[in-house]
C-alpha cells in the first residue's frame, strides 16, 4: 500500500489537496475518479529513508507517536484484523506525515510477502533493534499482538524515565542561564559606568574591585575571544569523549562523583533489567537480548560488564559473575538475578528489580533537585555579594577620604 498526494477539483468546483492510499498509481486514479475528483496532479510520496535526495524529515517521529501507533496496531491485531489491513487503518489515523508514508510502505512490503519485522528493519531511524527483534519474536511465536502491547508499554516507560531526568535538570539549567545573563549585564553595563569614579580616586583599589574591573574589560573588549575559546573547548571536549580512550576516562570520572555515580548506576540498572525482561518475555533468545541491552547501557564500563556476562551465558555459566566482578551492579541486583536464573523465574525477578530501581531513580532525582536548588542560590548569592563589595569598598574609602 502506497500513499499518493494529489491536487484536484471536486464536483462543487472546490480545489482539493490531500492524500490517498492505493496499491498502484492507476488504482489511486480510479479511486479519485469514483469520488468525482478531477485530477490536476498525482504523485506518490516516499519516506525519507527511501529518498535518494537529501530532503530531511519534515515531521520528526517522536517516541510518543511510535508508542501510540504500536498500541493501536496491537489493538487491531488482537481484534483479528490482518496485518496489512491494520497498517492501512493506521495510515488513515496517523497525523504524522512521515509516519503515514512509512506505514504505507511497510504495508505494501508485507502485502508483497515480506515479514513485518523485515519491513520495519528498513527504517532503522524509526524502529530500533529492540523493536524489530521483539516483532520478529512475536511473529515467530504467533503472539504478535501481545508483544506489540508489551512493546508500547516499554516505550512509554522509557519516555517517562527520560522525562524524569530532563525534568530534574530543568531548574538548575534555568538558574545557570539566568545567573550568566545577570553577570554579563553587570559586567558590561553596571561596572563600566562606575569605573570612571574608581579611576578618578587615584588610589590603589581593593582587590575585589580590581578583579571586577578586569572582568568587565574582558567582557567588553575580548568577548569574541572568550566566545571562540568556549566554542573550541566545547567541540574539543566532544571530540575527545567520542574517542575510545576519552570516553572511558570521562565515564570513569563520572562514576567517581558521589551523587552522579549512584544516579548513573540506578538508571542503567533499571534500563538493563526492564529491557532484558521485556525481550525475554517476548521470546527473544537470551544471547540476542543481552546483546541488545548491552547497546542500551550508556556507561562504557557497565557495557563491558554486560558484554562479559553475555560471554558467560554463551559458555553455559551464570551472568551474575561478571556483573558482580565489575562492582558497578549492586549486590542485591546480582543476587536477585542469580535467584531468578536458578529458579527459572528470571523475567519476573528482572521486572521486580526494574520497578524497584525506577522508584529509586525518581527519589534520587528529587533529592538531587532539592540539593542543587540551595547550592545554586548560594552560588548566585556569593557572586552578587562579591560584586556589591567590589563597588561599596571604594565608595567607603572615598567617603572617608572626604
Helix 346-401 / helix 331-343 crossing angle, nearest 10 deg: 170
Residue 359's Cα: distance from chain center in Å? 20
273 within 8 A of 353, measured Cβ to Cβ: yes
- Which candidate, 327, 324, 337, places its Cα nearest to that of 277? 337
User: Do 82 and 33 reside in the same domain of the chain?
Assistant: no
Instruction: Specify whether 223 is located in the same domain as 363.
Output: yes
Residues 80, 204: one domain?
Answer: no
Q: Which of 88, 106, 127 is the last residue of a domain?
A: 127
Residue 181 and residue 117 in one domain? no
Return the C-alpha torsion angle 40, 43, 48, 53, nearest 10: -90
* Domain assignment present for 67: yes
Does 69 fall in a domain? Answer: yes
Asked, for residue 132, whether it belongs to a domain, the answer is no
Burial class of residue 277 (count of CB atoms within 10 Å of its CB; 0-12, 13-18, 19+): buried
Contact between 337 and 320 under an 8 Å Cβ cutoff? The reply is: yes
Q: Where does 310-376 show beta strands of DSSP type E?
A: none
Phi, psi (deg, nearest 5) at residue 131 = -60, -50
Residue in 263, 302, 281 with CA at minimum distance from that of residue 349:
281
Give the pLDDT score at 250: 94
Residue 258 burial (C-beta neighbours within 10 Å; 0-12, 13-18, 19+): exposed
For residue 93, what are the contacts with CB-CB under 8 A and spacing of at least 6?
72
Tally of domains within the chain? 3
Residue 138 placed within a domain: no
Distance CA 73, CA 245 (A): 44
Mark whether 249 and 113 lie in a shared domain: no
Are 70 and 110 found together in one domain?
yes
Is 73 contained in some domain? yes
Question: Which pLDDT does position 2 carry in this prediction?
Answer: 64
72 and 196 in a common domain: no
> For residue 136, what are the β-bridge partners?
none
Shared domain for 41 and 71, answered yes or no, is: no
Among 186, 200, 190, CA closest to 397: 200
User: How far is residue 124's CA from residue 104's CA, in Å, rounded to a whole number?
Assistant: 16
Task: Look at residue 133 and tell me if it is in a domain.
Answer: no
Within the chain, which residues score under 70 in pLDDT? 1-2, 9, 11-13, 23-26, 38-40, 45-60, 199-203, 397-402
User: Residue 378: its pLDDT value, please?
Assistant: 86
Q: Which residue has the cell 510502505?
A: 105
CATH number at residue 78: 1.20.81.30
* Residue 341 placed within a domain: yes
In a domain, 53, yes or no: no
290 and 213 both lie in a single domain = yes
Whole-model pTM over 0.75: no
Cα Rg of the chain, angstroms: 30
**pLDDT at position 122:** 85
Distance between CA atoms of 324 and 326, rounded to whole angstroms?
Answer: 5
Place of cell 540506578: 266
Residues 118 and 162 in one domain: no
Assess whether 88 and 188 both reside in one domain.
no
- What is the residue range of 17's domain? 2-45
The pLDDT, as a whole number, for residue 201 is 66
122 and 213: one domain? no
Q: Are 133 and 292 in contact (CB under 8 A)?
A: yes
Amino acid at each position: 500500500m502506497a500513499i499518493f498526494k494529489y491536487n484536484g477539483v471536486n464536483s462543487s468546483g472546490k480545489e482539493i489537496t490531500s492524500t490517498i492510499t492505493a496499491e498502484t498509481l492507476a488504482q489511486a486514479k480510479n479511486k479519485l475518479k469514483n469520488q468525482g475528483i478531477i485530477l490536476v496532479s498525482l504523485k506518490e510520496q516516499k519516506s525519507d529513508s527511501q529518498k535518494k535526495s537529501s530532503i530531511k524529515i519534515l515531521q520528526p517521529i517522536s517516541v510518543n507517536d511510535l508508542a501510540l501507533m504500536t498500541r493501536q496496531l496491537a489493538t487491531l491485531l488482537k481484534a483479528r484484523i490482518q496485518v496489512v489491513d491494520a497498517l492501512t487503518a493506521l495510515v488513515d489515523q496517523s497525523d504524522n506525515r512521515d509516519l503515514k508514508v512509512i506505514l504505507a510502505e511497510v504495508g505494501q512490503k508485507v502485502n508483497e510477502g515480506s515479514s513485518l519485522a523485515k519491513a520495519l528493519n528498513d527504517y532503522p531511524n524509526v524502529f530500533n533493534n529492540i523493536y524489530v527483534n521483539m516483532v520478529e519474536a512475536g511473529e515467530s511465536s504467533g503472539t504478535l499482538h501481545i508483544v506489540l502491547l508489551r512493546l508500547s508499554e516499554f516505550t512509554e516507560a522509557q519516555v517517562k524515565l527520560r522525562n524524569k531526568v530532563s525534568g530534574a535538570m530543568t531548574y538548575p539549567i534555568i538558574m545557570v542561564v539566568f545567573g550568566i545573563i545577570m553577570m554579563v549585564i553587570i559586567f558590561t553595563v553596571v561596572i563600566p559606568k562606575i569605573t570612571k569614579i574608581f579611576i578618578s580616586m587615584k588610589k590603589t583599589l581593593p582587590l575585589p574591585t580590581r578583579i571586577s574591573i578586569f572582568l568587565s574589560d574582558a567582557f567588553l573588549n575580548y568577548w569574541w575571544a572568550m566566545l571562540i575559546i568556549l566554542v573550541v573547548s566545547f567541540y574539543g571536549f566532544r571530540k575527545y569523549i567520542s574517542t575510545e580512550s576519552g570516553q572511558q576516562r570521562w565515564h570513569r570520572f563520572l562514576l567517581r562523583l558521589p551523587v552522579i555515580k549512584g544516579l548513573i548506576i540506578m538508571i542503567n540498572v533499571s534500563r538493563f533489567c526492564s529491557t532484558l525482561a521485556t525481550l525475554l518475555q517476548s521470546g527473544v533468545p537470551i544471547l540476542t537480548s543481552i546483546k541488545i541491552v548491552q547497546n542500551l547501557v550508556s556507561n562504557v564500563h557497565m557495557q563491558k560488564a554486560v558484554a562479559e556476562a553475555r560471554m558467560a551465558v554463551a559458555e553455559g555459566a551464570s551472568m551474575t559473575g561478571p556483573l558482580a566482578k565489575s562492582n558497578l551492579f549492586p549486590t542485591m541486583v546480582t543476587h536477585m538475578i542469580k535467584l531468578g536464573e536458578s529458579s527459572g523465574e528470571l523475567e519476573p525477578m528482572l521486572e521486580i528489580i526494574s520497578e524497584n530501581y525506577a522508584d529509586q531513580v525518581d527519589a534520587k532525582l528529587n533529592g538531587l533537585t532539592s540539593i542543587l536548588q540551595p547550592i545554586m542560590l548560594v552560588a548566585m548569592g556569593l557572586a552578587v555579594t562579591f560584586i556589591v563589595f567590589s563597588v561599596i569598598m571604594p565608595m567607603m574609602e572615598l567617603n572617608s577620604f572626604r
